[in-house]
Structure 1
Amino acid sequence: MFPGATADRDAASYVIVGAPLDISTSFQPGTRFGPDRVRRFSETYDDYDHTTDSFFSELAVHDAGDIHAWSAAREYLDHLASELRAAVWDGSIPVTIGGEHTVTAAGVEAVEPDVFVCLDAHLDLRSNYDGNEWSHACVTRHVLDTAEEAIILGARTGSPEEWDRAAQDDVTVVPPEDVASWLSDPPAFDDRSVYLSVDIDGADPGFAPGTGTMEPFGMTPREMRDLVRTVAPFCDGFDVVEVNDRDDGQTAALAGKLLREFIYQHADRADL
């Protein structure tokens, strides 16, 4: 159980679901261990958050456990989407812990947002990777079948074809060096539904080495925290993905902290 997720399912405002999919990782596998590691390395965090003057254990968070993965990605995503959609229909916010980034497609399918905001080192706009259209490197392209717009924060690498796709009007790319400027004047989401995905490799690998495809020159944890705080109040769904077991827990600790920041900030705005 995620620490502090003490609410019963029928009383939950937030439903955490682990999605340990690990079939298309192209460099360092291990995301199947991500949900458990994020829970484990979140155990030391204080229940109380001074910024929002709230206790995590009082925010009606439920941990539904893991949806165990199998080798057929499309079928798994359909099943995961149905589980997350049940939370949406119950009036809860689905919060997914990955697993590879492919699982985000299920979250977006369940929520059906207008805007997809993603913290990520990679554009993930490929039509396929090594012949696999359901690779983690294709997830944002799939998301754009549902969402009207994608904002990719922290992106710093991609193929020529991905950069061509990113130049279209429905995609905004904010490189790490421009994140501070974006935070000073974020878009007005107004009444549009937003889904927020945190690919932990958006962080510089010096801070988060336990991920499948490390990419230097990334964001700092504080920048990622500030992005989550800024976007969270407008969101109808959230995930944090691409944590593996190839470090001493630094990456899982960051992922768990960002998940908590999302819930603290979302709940704080919901109370207004």
Structure 2
Amino acid sequence: MPFPGAVADRDDAAYVLTGAPLDATTTFQPGTRFGPERVRRFAATYDDYDRHTDSFFSDLGVHDAGDVPAWDALDDYLDHLTAELRAAVIDDAVPLLLGGEHTVTWAGVRATDPDVLVTLDAHLDLRDAYDGNPLNHACVVRRCLDGLGDDEAEDAEQYPTVDEVVVLGARTGSPEEWERADAPDVTAVAPEDVADWTANFDGVDDRDVYLSVDIDGADPGFAPGTGTMEPFGLSPREMRDAVRAVAPHCVGVDAVEVNDRDDGQAAALAGKLLREAVYAHADAR
């Protein structure tokens, strides 16, 4: 089923939603391959009308382009997904990406070439490699910042990177990740500080932002259907407020790391946050 309210024709779309059911490097509980389908299904109960922006989702020009089925060659898949998302950018539409594991965010960043990545996440995801794999989902923020390196990327222009990263809700990482997070191009905001960060956020000096919502940024009591649960996280309302603040500055948005290990709580939250991003972005336009 298409995402509820995503009724615009592709040629007329202001937003193009694409599913990326990648489940290749999950390190604990797999199941992100079911994420796009579950988010669509559990978003079916939401009213079309949004009181906060006085708008109807079905009027905002969202088109659901379906899923890009995943395959084993991870680097090839990410290249293909990047091209699919870039097609929306070329048509002056904002890509909306439904994961799948967090690795797919690198395709979103490569397609939109933002200046800043803001991610809601329990984990820093700043590892240079995990289990020897630089494309593991635990490395996605590092890839968005530092690329693959000249020795691994034949054409550096194929792998655009961001100038700055903000991780909202960060509460775990390796010593090496926390050391990388101390650099000037990374801001890690603890869960207890996210509300203040949101209240004081006033854009990023006209720079473009890509927003990634890893559902494990939420406390697992609210969203247990994710691969690597981490307690002491964000409330849904804190996530909503951050999404509303950041979305107007976005050139792309994703929601990732939903799996099938709960009764729909994680999928319902991811779908709601994605809708909040569209409402806020469209209202700012």
Task: Give the TM bin, normalised by the shorter chain.
Answer: over 0.9
Output the amino acid matched with 2:171. R
**Shift >6 Å, 4+ stretches:** none
Task: Show the 5 A alignment for 1:85-124.
Answer: 85-124=86-125
Output the amino acid matched with 1:235. C
Q: Which residue of 2 aligns with 1:76?
A: 77
Gap regions ≥5 residues in structure 2: 147-160
Q: Which residue of 1 aligns with 2:32?
A: 31
Contact 2:203 2:246 in 1 (8 A): no
CA deviations over 1:129-159 (Å, ceiling 9, x no partner): 1111110000000011300000000000000
CA deviations over 1:79-99 (Å, ceiling 9, x no partner): 000000000010000000000
Contact 2:216 2:257 in 1 (8 A): yes
Q: Which residue of 1 aligns with 2:158?
A: none
* Residue 215 (structure 1) shift: 0.1
**3-state SS in 2 of match to 1:245:** coil
* Residue 40 (structure 1) shift: 0.1
Total equivalences in the alignment: 270
Task: Show the 5 A alignment for 1:115-154.
Answer: 115-145=116-146, 146-154=161-169
Output the amino acid matched with 1:164. E
- Residue 200, structure 1, aligned to residue 201, structure 2: no
Q: Which residue of 1 aligns with 2:240?
A: 225
Q: Which residue of 2 aligns with 1:269?
A: 284
After superposing the two structures, state which structure 1 stretch, 33-42 or 182-191, moved more.
182-191
* Residue 224 (structure 1) shift: 0.2
* Residue 229 (structure 1) shift: 0.1
Q: Which residue of 1 aligns with 2:149?
A: none
CA deviations over 1:182-201 (Å, ceiling 9, x no partner): 11211531310100000000
How far apart, CA to CA, are the structure 1 residues paired with 2:71 and 2:202?
A: 38
Residue 238 and residue 169 in structure 1: after superposition, are their counterparts in 2 closer, same or farther (change >3 A)?
Answer: same
CA deviations over 1:5-35 (Å, ceiling 9, x no partner): 0000000000000000001000000000000
After superposing the two structures, state which structure 1 stretch, 143-152 or 98-107, moved more.
143-152
- Residue 61, structure 1, aligned to residue 76, structure 2: no
CA deviations over 1:14-62 (Å, ceiling 9, x no partner): 0000000001000000000000000000000000000000000000000
**3-state SS in 2 of match to 1:151:** strand
Q: Which residue of 1 aligns with 2:203?
A: 188
Output the amino acid matched with 1:257. K
Q: Which residue of 2 aligns with 1:161?
A: 176
How far apart, CA to CA, are the structure 1 residues paired with 2:192 and 2:47?
A: 32
Q: Which residue of 2 aligns with 1:258?
A: 273
- Residue 176, structure 1, aligned to residue 191, structure 2: yes
CA deviations over 1:71-116 (Å, ceiling 9, x no partner): 1111100000000000001000000000000000000000000000
How far apart, CA to CA, are the structure 2 residues paired with 1:185 and 1:44?
A: 33
How far apart, CA to CA, are the structure 2 residues paired with 1:38 and 1:148?
A: 31
TM (norm. structure 2) is 0.94
Output the amino acid matched with 1:110. A
Output the amino acid matched with 2:189. V
How far apart, CA to CA, are the structure 2 residues paired with 1:149 and 1:131?
A: 25
Output the amino acid matched with 2:217. G
**3-state SS in 2 of match to 1:22:** coil
CA deviations over 1:189-245 (Å, ceiling 9, x no partner): 131010000000000000000000000000000000000000000000000000000
**3-state SS in 2 of match to 1:107:** helix
How far apart, CA to CA, are the structure 1 residues paired with 2:280 and 2:190?
A: 24
Output the amino acid matched with 2:37. D
TM (norm. structure 1) is 0.98
